[in-house]
Amino acid sequence: MSSSEKEVAAKMYTDKNLFAAQVFQCIAYITHKCPLLQELFLKWTNLGIREKVLLNYIAFHIVEKGQIELYTAIIQGFGYWNTLQDTEGS
């Protein structure tokens, strides 16, 4: 990793809220363009309520506290995209 890449990475992690917001925006706005995200989104939507609750429970106990914001941002992005699909169609 070059020094400029390290500086960028350090800046991203110093402002976790900003980074989490950027993750949310990426998930929410590029899901329709990225086949891998589409596949992950479809697998997430196929989970039942109990499975999603269990996934959240496991994530909050396994994922490091400093990284849980990323998990939360991804799930919020999927929730936003799911609502968008329900209201405006695929």
50: exposed, middle or buried (Cβ count in 10 Å: 0-12, 13-18, 19+): exposed
HEC-encoded secondary structure of 3-51: HHHHHHHHHHHHCHHHHHHHHHHHHHHHHHHCHHHHHHHHHHHCCCHHH
User: Which pTM was predicted?
Assistant: 0.67
20-68 pLDDT per residue, tens: 777 777 777 787 788 888 898 889 999 999 999 999 999 989 888 778 8
The confidence score (pLDDT) of residue 65 equals 78
Q: Which of 8-17, 56-65, 67-76 has the lowest mean pLDDT?
A: 8-17
The residue behind tokens 């991203």 is: 12
